[in-house]
Amino acid sequence: MDRRLPAADRAPVSRTSRPGGGLTRRSALGLAAGALAAPALAASPGGADTLRGTGALGVVVERATGSLVIVDQIARAAIGRVTELGDLSHASVVYSPDQRFAYVFGRDGGLSKVDILTGAIAARVIQSGNAIGGAISDDGRLVAVSNYEPGGVRVFDAETLAPVADIPTGSKTIGLVDAPGRRFVFSLWDAGETWIADFASSAPAITRIEGMGKNPYDALITGDGRRYITGLFGEDGLTALDLWESPPAPRRILSGYGRGEEPLPVYKMPHLEGWALAGERFVLPAIGRHEVLWVDARSLEEVGRTATHGQPVFAVARPGGRQVWVNFAHPLNDTVQVIDSASGEVVHTLNPGPAVLHMEFTARGHEVWVSVRDAGRVDVYDTGTFEKRAEIAAESPSGIFFTARAHRMGL
Minimum distance, C-beta of residue 251 to its own copies, in the bound complex (Å): 16
64 vs 136, which CB is nearer to its own copies? Answer: 136
Only segment of 206-214, 219-227, 287-295, 324-332 that touches its own copies (CB under 8 A): 219-227
Does residue 345 interact with its own copies by CB under 8 A? no
Q: Which is nearer to its own copies, 342 or 347 (CB)?
A: 342
Query: If 0-12 CB within 10 Å is exposed, 13-18 middle and 19+ buried, where does residue 100 land?
Result: middle
Dist. CA 231–CA 411, nearest whole Å: 17
The answer to whether 207 contacts its own copies (rule: CB under 8 A) is no
Rounded Cα gap, residues 179 and 186, in angstroms: 10
In the shown chain, the binding pattern of residues 78 to 107 toward its own copies, with x for contact by CB under 8 A and - for none, equals -----------------xxxxxxx------
Our CB check for its own copies shows the closer of 57 and 68 to be 57
What is the separation, in whole angstroms, between the first and last Cα of the chain? 31
Containing 144, the helix (H) or strand (E) segment is strand 142-149
- Going by the DSSP 8-state scheme, the letter that residue 322 receives in this structure is S
- Residue with Cβ nearer its own copies (378 or 406): 406
Q: Site for its own copies (CB under 8 A): which residue of 318, 358, 373, 377?
A: 318
- Contacting its own copies within 3-42 (CB under 8 A): none
Supply the minimum distance, in Å, between the C-beta of residue 227 and its own copies.
10
Residue 117 lies near its own copies (rule: CB under 8 A)? yes
Contacts 24+ apart (CB under 8 A), 165-171: 165/197, 165/199, 165/203, 165/204, 167/195, 167/197, 167/204, 167/206, 169/195
Are 314 and 357 a contacting pair, CB within 8 Å?
no
Query: Residue 123: how many CB atoms within 10 A of its CB?
Result: 24
Q: How far is the CB of 97 from its own copies (least distance, A)?
A: 5
Interaction of residue 322 with its own copies, rule CB under 8 A? yes
Give the count of beta carbons closer than 10 Å to the beta carbon of residue 249: 10
In a 13 Å sphere around the CA of 211, the CA atoms on its Cβ side amount to: 6
Which one of residues 109, 225, 312, 354 is an interface residue with its own copies (CB under 8 A)? 225
Residue number with CB closer to its own copies (35 or 75): 75
Q: Distance between CA 201 and CA 183 in Å, rounded? A: 10
Q: Applying CB under 8 A, does 367 fall inside the site for its own copies?
A: yes
Q: Exactly one of 4, 214, 330, 364 binds its own copies (CB under 8 A); which one?
A: 364
- 258/319 with CB nearer its own copies: 319
Q: Kindly provide the b/e burial profile for residues 176-214, where b requires at least 16 CB atoms within 10 angstroms of the residue's own CB.
A: bbbbeebbbbbbbbebbbbbbbbbeeeebeeeebeebbe
Type of residue at 160: T
Is 366 among the residues that bind its own copies (CB under 8 A)?
yes
Using CB under 8 A as the binding rule, whether residue 203 contacts its own copies is answered as no
Q: For the CB of residue 306, give the shortest distance to its own copies in the complex, in Å.
A: 17
CA 19, 22, 25, 30 torsion-angle sign: negative
* Nearer to its own copies among residue 252 and residue 408 (C-beta): 408
Residues 287-316 that bind its own copies (CB under 8 A): 298
**Which chain residues interact with its own copies by CB under 8 A?**
49, 51-57, 73-74, 95-101, 117-118, 138-140, 178, 180-182, 200, 224-226, 244, 277, 279-280, 298, 318-322, 341-342, 362-367, 384-385, 403-404, 406-409
